[in-house]
Structure 1
């Protein structure tokens, strides 16, 4: 299960569509509501949106994602980069098989992979500013078939996340360079496959200011948070127009809802449906009334 709260997101989108349809005599212009598929499974989500021309003909985009770090009824919205880019890599280290009692007659691919896993974290900690919030995660390793055999081939798969376009290109290049260099150092080879995923989502300052004002007017100052950048990624960055991606609280801290996204025990409260839908509808009407942003 994806466990990212998309049932809540779909409910908010449907509620927004119904509310705006009932108020269709209050505004001129068009609102297009679409249910975003597979936002973390590039290129499936992006490809389906583009192939159906869902992005044609509109000027602004509004997206909401639930956030377990916030209590119900609190919204977070900040300008600039609010998510990270998400690239993937699959690196196969190739050595030479030998008997485990005679390792000098082979080239140990597991040893090469182990060296890479340790050294690749130094790329982040020693070559990139901490403010970039760059992350390299190794999530999958496939290797070996017997305990007494020098393994000839290891595949390491992982993800790279960062907020800036310049650092994104640089870190992908460094990961590939490190893999080839360490493999050669250990008399092996490396085959590097890199998959470019979604870029970081960059919020439009004008839309953010509108949303912040609407939240405060409707719910008060306590309902607005402006100090949280998201650590995850999604492909709403393909909407290269005036974009707002906000997060809303999902009852973190309540019994049964203490867990974060993508865990099998994650839960979101129905209590956030009404205030989140109301905030989105208010922002849509505000933009339709005055399409210009600051």
Structure 2
């Protein structure tokens, strides 16, 4: 029975496309920042209740929403996740659905993630009698913050009874129709660091009487690059980036204090530990050597997204069924981060990028850009890939494809 649903899912979702676009555009006009989401989860819960799901929980982990759909026969439980928070960016697009909230916009596609999963939920709810097992729909708040909403929802039991999870991210750097995923590591550990160097300020004409915090900081920036080049095997991956450097405000004053911050990206736990240890050694050692003092604050952020092999294979088969073999790629891991990783620490699962770029629709800007937009036809593809992944997982859990 689920086999019929899989075969007809594309057409069933096509009938929902206009509604998905309408939901997405409404959310795009009324975005809400991480941990400030109120109207968005209320809207999601109201829509889910209209599908007559078996359970709709709100305020999961704070502001998340969880919907449970029980099938007509017993079987495994699979979860599907979307996020719904926006970013503190001014929307500069001139479109009918431009953000109506000053300084806030959906610049990463989370509005479309939510609309896509709502469309899929409606289709599956109408055909629940064909399911052998259950589907949990997870709508997550605060993906953009660290720590984000995923860990809060996990700790609040959002994965209770769940055997596996799948998630998707619409991806404007890839053309619409393209689908990218990976077996194993897909996205990186994301850590941040904050450094404060204390020297001894003074007049620029008398440098011998000072300890120049800018010079100390410059040496630290350069030396931190040796973590990748001299401390980690070239066959492994690590990125150390100093993203901000602030010191001084005058041409004739040697700065007393220098502040820096940045990020470290890794995949393996042992490389993550090594990078943190060496960063602290380099900062403290360099400052001491040059007569200054330094303090380091190091934040462990999202862990790496590591797809489990079996679920990644199920997801890839679903992508091929949805878009064709030529459109699906095993991608190289990216050093970006995603708190979908917290779900994967608890249950098997896989994550996928769904191409959403299209120059003909001006969907050419990167994520977190004030002109960011997507080709909305990608939502239907995303819904189909997640839906087929869930259905295939349920069918395997009941002894394979049903007659």
- Tell me the TM-score normalized by structure 2: 0.69
SS of match in other structure, 1:245: strand
Report the CA distance between 1:8 and its aligned residue. 1.6
Q: Which has the higher contact order (CA 8 A, sep 6+)?
A: 1
1:285 aligns with 2:391: yes
1:261 aligns with 2:261: no
Would the aligned equivalents of 1:87 and 1:196 in 2 still touch at CA under 8 Å?
yes
Report the CA distance between 1:44 and its aligned residue. 3.2
Report the CA distance between 1:140 and its aligned residue. 1.7
Report the CA distance between 1:223 and its aligned residue. 2.3
Report the CA distance between 1:285 and its aligned residue. 1.3
Task: Give the 3 Å change call, closer, same or farther, for CA 132–257 of structure 1 in structure 2.
Answer: farther
Deviating above 3 A after TM superposition, structure 1's stretches of 4 or more consecutive aligned residues are 252-255
Report the CA distance between 1:131 and its aligned residue. 3.7
Measure, in 2, the Cα distance between the counterparts of 1:292 and 1:234: 31
The one of 74, 78, 103 aligned to 2:182: 78
SS of match in other structure, 2:137: coil
Would the aligned equivalents of 2:185 and 2:267 in 1 still touch at CA under 8 Å?
yes
Following superposition of structure 1 onto structure 2, how do residues 139-218 of structure 1 map, counting pairs within 5 Å?
139-218=243-322
SS of match in other structure, 1:260: coil
Task: Give the 3 Å change call, closer, same or farther, for CA 293–216 of structure 1 in structure 2.
Answer: farther
1:246 aligns with 2:352: yes
Q: Calculate the aligned-residue CA RMSD, in Å.
A: 2.0
Report the CA distance between 1:100 and its aligned residue. 1.4
1:18 aligns with 2:122: yes
Task: Give the 3 Å change call, closer, same or farther, for CA 17–119 of structure 1 in structure 2.
Answer: same
Would the aligned equivalents of 2:322 and 2:384 in 1 still touch at CA under 8 Å?
no
The one of 52, 59, 62 aligned to 2:156: 52
Deviations 1:251-289 (A, max 9, x none): 254452222222222221101011111111111111122
> Could you say which residue in structure 1 is the equivalent of 2:239?
135
Measure, in 1, the Cα distance between the counterparts of 2:147 and 2:168: 21
SS of match in other structure, 1:87: strand
Report the CA distance between 1:56 and its aligned residue. 2.1
Measure, in 1, the Cα distance between the counterparts of 2:174 and 2:167: 17
SS of match in other structure, 1:115: helix
Unaligned runs of 5+ in 2: 1-88, 90-105
Report the CA distance between 1:167 and its aligned residue. 0.3
Measure, in 1, the Cα distance between the counterparts of 2:235 and 2:117: 34
**What is the total number of aligned residue pairs between the two structures?**
294
Would the aligned equivalents of 1:78 and 1:227 in 2 still touch at CA under 8 Å?
yes
SS of match in other structure, 1:264: coil
> Could you say which residue in structure 2 is the equivalent of 1:28?
132
Would the aligned equivalents of 1:91 and 1:193 in 2 still touch at CA under 8 Å?
yes
Task: Give the 3 Å change call, closer, same or farther, for CA 110–55 of structure 1 in structure 2.
Answer: same
Would the aligned equivalents of 2:322 and 2:381 in 1 still touch at CA under 8 Å?
no
Would the aligned equivalents of 1:206 and 1:293 in 2 still touch at CA under 8 Å?
no
Measure, in 1, the Cα distance between the counterparts of 2:196 and 2:297: 9
Task: Give the 3 Å change call, closer, same or farther, for CA 129–256 of structure 1 in structure 2.
Answer: farther
Unaligned runs of 5+ in 1: none
Higher strand proportion, which one?
Answer: 2
Report the CA distance between 1:293 and its aligned residue. 11
SS of match in other structure, 2:166: strand
Measure, in 1, the Cα distance between the counterparts of 2:229 and 2:257: 28
Report the CA distance between 1:168 and its aligned residue. 0.5
Would the aligned equivalents of 1:90 and 1:155 in 2 still touch at CA under 8 Å?
yes
Would the aligned equivalents of 2:193 and 2:262 in 1 still touch at CA under 8 Å?
yes
Measure, in 2, the Cα distance between the counterparts of 1:13 and 1:221: 23
Would the aligned equivalents of 2:241 and 2:262 in 1 still touch at CA under 8 Å?
yes
